[in-house]
Structure 1
Amino acid sequence: MGSRQQLGNYSLWMLSWPIFIELFLQFLLGAADTLMVSKISDDAVAVVGFSNQLFNALMALFTTVSSGAGILIAQRLGARDRESARTLGVIALKVTALIGVVISVALIAAPRQIAMLLQLPDRLLPLAEIYISIVGGGMVLTAVMTTLSTSIRNTGNTKAPMYIAVGMNIVHLFLNSSFIFGHFGFPQLGLTGVAISTVTSRLLATIVLFYIFLSAFHRPIRLPDFKLFDRKLFHEVLKIGWPLGVNMSCWVFSQLAIFSFLAMLGSAELTARTYMNTLESFCFLLGQSIAMGVQIQVAHLFGAKRTKEAYRSAYRGLYIGLVIVSVNAVIVYFVGDKMLGFFTSDPHIIALGVSLLSLNLLLQPGKMLNMALGNSLSAIGDTRFMMTNSLISMSLIATLLSYVLGVKLGWGLSCIYSCMIADEYFRGIIALFRWRGRKKLRQAEIGMQQAARQAVAAG
């Protein structure tokens, strides 16, 4: 990692470490949320975990635009087309803000109906109605914040989102503590307070990110610039972005379906899975940051026509990530029972969580393989292939097989978890063969050769 594989002035490590800090702070936010909410009740934890899966599913609606724009921003900057990169950032912000408003209105209007549709147990519905309406009502902030962070990060400035994450975590933890425990004269509002804390911290983060975004490109963005709309560029965003959106939709909807299956098994299984999500996040944080750094680097290199360097960069990130996530999974295997004990004293929930620790040793390398090479393929525009891969694997293995074996045949939580592992490896191995085939990279190389011959002929 210290070999300084350069992307202009950015090595993989320079791109990845701020992303890691940002993700780590998000992990702390989630872990602290879970820990503090567990002081309210295990039911409150189940509601938060369930609601977050719903929010993740809805995020796919604006991730289509933000992710596609982010990749194109990196490619255009690699090709030194800075004006198009700037325009892409403006277009993405406007479109995702509009989508976020629509989602927020829907979640404010029908939180209970949505929870019932997704099979949440009846006794959890009152808590879900409160949490979904408040946090869901702030989804427009999530949409804008995601787009701002993605645009800024893909310019190569991965530090700014990290600093914002620090501030957001501090505010969120302060407000969580105040509203849950009644510190500093605040009223004790329970889960309602947690929801208010979440929305407030995101609002402040969005304001600061917007200020940074205005100066993120070669020319500052002014108010009149928000009238910008280039149909050709937006078409490019959708061309590369809609498969990414479908890809993410497959993942989040499969996770949402799995949480619904767990709700059918019982609230204890649902709660144990929520706690395990926290432990899994710890394992994968640095690996995920490396995979995200690789995507930015590969996109820049691909845009600069440095295809051989882009090809090698993906493998370098994969090898580093595999070592890291495997070591982290071993650590969690030995201390996982104690970590679960921080969240709950229910022996049944702890036992369910502990039963998944050995399976997590298998899960983490599969996730790293899938994410590192999947991100690399997305970075060079091979998003339709990734979409097809996800549609097949997640629908048949992660979702259908989980339901048949885990619910219908009654094999339970461990079987559902095993299906998730099989899905990660299937997608990862397919992505590996696709990357080794170098299809998109060869097409780019042929295009460069043709352009060179035309230039010689014209000269």
Structure 2
Amino acid sequence: MNQQNTKKLSLYALTWPIFIEIMLHMLMGNIDTLMLSQYSDHSVGAVGVANQILSVVIVMFGFVAAGVSVLVAQNLGAEKPTTAGKIAVSSLSLNLIFSLSLSLLLFLFSDGILHFMNIPAELMGEASTYLNIVGGFIFVQALIMTVSAILRSYGYTKDTMYVTILMNIINAAGNYFMIFGPFGLPVFGVEGVAYMTMISRFVGFIILLVILLWRNGKHLPLTSLYKYEKNHIKDLLRIGLPSAGEELSYNASQMVITIFIAQMGTLFITTRVYVENSMLFLMLFSIAIGQGTQILIGHMMGAGQIEEAYKRGVKSLKIAIVISTLAAILFYFTGSTLLEFFTDDLTIIEMGMTLLLVTIILEPGRAFNLVLINSLRAAGDVQFPVVVGIISMWGISVTFAWFFGIYLELGLLGVWIGYIADEWLRGILMWRRWKSRVWTRNVFIRDEQNE
């Protein structure tokens, strides 16, 4: 991608396909559960437990995708397409090796992992089957994440969106045949759902790889599949590992908060699930704007457009705050109808409405983090957000959740107070960091020969 094409990138053109793609990935994760609910409650529980394990594994190999997205964008902005191509190819090879090892571990030790989690005996068989099949081929998801990150960094966000749509169609259609057995076909249940998940991902990866080669094959040297350049790998790890560590820390802190909520009772657990599932859609706006901004700022930093990058971060933040706040207000006023879709329990609906009300305060703070952390990462400033994030997650979110939720007996409202304090504290610190412009000296551009 040359400088002229880089200038044609816009936040809107990048963001709306990312928004739809992320939403479809979330839906794809729920399609199996939704369709299996018409088949067996035990099957839903088995797949749910297996997916909890798989989500942690996906975070572990997401570090390469996080690193390559920044490095490719910066080198394209610096008009170094060959270097960007080398990094892209090396990242695919690196993530393939790493994810294959994790796939092998999941395939060999799925029963042991499930026993460690004290899975009820009636769920063990189906959970093990699903984990064996989907976990054994989880390396395909690692490759999808990596190729998608590369394509988005080149600005081809529509391509990844269309492939995600196709993957959803294949998965849903396949699930229908596997679960309901139309036209007298045999019913395969969880095993069939697992195979369809694997097949849809494999098809998606092949198409994404073909698109990548078609779009930019001349700048993708195959020798970089096995001939790594030390500086490129160091830069990938320097950006990716802290990002993965932050994600793992977040998941761990949420597990601890779940333990607190479990002490409150089943009603509180159910309410949290319904409200947080609703909030996922609110987060999509800020997530998509943050990822689109990361691509733009990465290109700008590579091109040495520091002032433009700074202004882009500020402008994107303002857009995300306005959109997320208005969306949160809309969700509150339509909240009762939304919650009644899930349940007719008036206690759950009443608690859920209270949480949706305070979510209006929460979402702007979350917008600060999702946009500015992506902006800082695009500029190569990865350590500060991670350190602040881990300290705040455990020192504020978890601590406040216990103090207000358990000790002061405010229940889920206390947990949400912890969320609000965590998001706003981090958001303010990220804003100060962005305004300080410390990040201007962190560009990952290497001098290369024959560029």
TM bucket normalised to smaller = 0.7 to 0.9
Q: List runs of 5+ in structure 1 lacking aligned partners.
A: 1-5, 449-459
User: Residue deviations 1:284-313, cap 9 Å, x none?
Assistant: 223221111001001110110000000010
Structure 1 pair 51–349 and aligned structure 2 pair: CA distance change class (3 A): farther
1:287 — aligned with what? 286
2:71 — aligned with what? 72
Structure 1 residues 22-421: aligned runs within 5 Å: 22-40=21-39, 48=47, 51-115=50-114, 117-118=116-117, 128-183=127-182, 185-217=184-216, 219=218, 221=220, 224-262=223-261, 269-343=268-342, 353-403=352-402, 406=405, 412-421=411-420
The AA in structure 2 aligned to 1:170 is: I
Distance in 2, matches of 1:103 and 1:188, equals 30
Structure 1 pair 408–123 and aligned structure 2 pair: CA distance change class (3 A): farther
User: Residue deviations 1:211-244, cap 9 Å, x none?
Assistant: 2222343615465552231111111111222222
* The 10-residue stretch of structure 1 (426-435 or 337-346) with the greater mean CA deviation from structure 2: 337-346
Q: How far 1:53 moved relative to its partner?
A: 4.2
Check whether the contact 2:379–2:442 (CA below 8 A) recurs between aligned residues: no
Alignment coverage as a number of residue pairs: 441
SS at match of 1:214: helix
Check whether the contact 1:46–1:270 (CA below 8 A) recurs between aligned residues: no
TM-score, normalising length from structure 2? 0.86
Distance in 1, matches of 2:428 and 2:376, equals 13
Check whether the contact 2:69–2:153 (CA below 8 A) recurs between aligned residues: yes
Q: How far 1:31 moved relative to its partner?
A: 4.8
Distance in 1, matches of 2:276 and 2:188, equals 25
SS at match of 2:93: helix
Distance in 2, matches of 1:86 and 1:356, equals 46
The AA in structure 2 aligned to 1:244 is: S
Distance in 1, matches of 2:266 and 2:194, equals 21
Query: Is 1:435 equivalent to 2:434 in the alignment?
Result: yes
User: Residue deviations 1:260-283, cap 9 Å, x none?
Assistant: 554565565545444434311222
Distance in 2, matches of 1:77 and 1:33, equals 38
Structure 1 pair 190–243 and aligned structure 2 pair: CA distance change class (3 A): same
Structure 1 pair 133–183 and aligned structure 2 pair: CA distance change class (3 A): same
Check whether the contact 2:110–2:131 (CA below 8 A) recurs between aligned residues: yes
TM-score, normalising length from structure 1? 0.85
Q: How far 1:252 moved relative to its partner?
A: 2.5
Check whether the contact 2:95–2:143 (CA below 8 A) recurs between aligned residues: yes
The AA in structure 1 aligned to 2:144 is: M
Distance in 2, matches of 1:116 and 1:399, equals 27
The AA in structure 1 aligned to 2:433 is: R
Check whether the contact 2:59–2:244 (CA below 8 A) recurs between aligned residues: yes
1:8 — aligned with what? 7
Q: How far 1:69 moved relative to its partner?
A: 1.5
Structure 1 pair 86–7 and aligned structure 2 pair: CA distance change class (3 A): closer
SS at match of 2:337: helix
User: Residue deviations 1:57-78, cap 9 Å, x none?
Assistant: 2223222222112101100010
Q: How far 1:437 moved relative to its partner?
A: 0.9
Check whether the contact 2:77–2:298 (CA below 8 A) recurs between aligned residues: yes
Structure 1 pair 71–379 and aligned structure 2 pair: CA distance change class (3 A): same
Check whether the contact 1:34–1:275 (CA below 8 A) recurs between aligned residues: no
Structure 1 pair 192–28 and aligned structure 2 pair: CA distance change class (3 A): same
Percent of residue pairs bearing the same amino acid type = 34
Structure 1 pair 297–222 and aligned structure 2 pair: CA distance change class (3 A): closer
User: Residue deviations 1:407-431, cap 9 Å, x none?
Assistant: 6776544433432332222221111
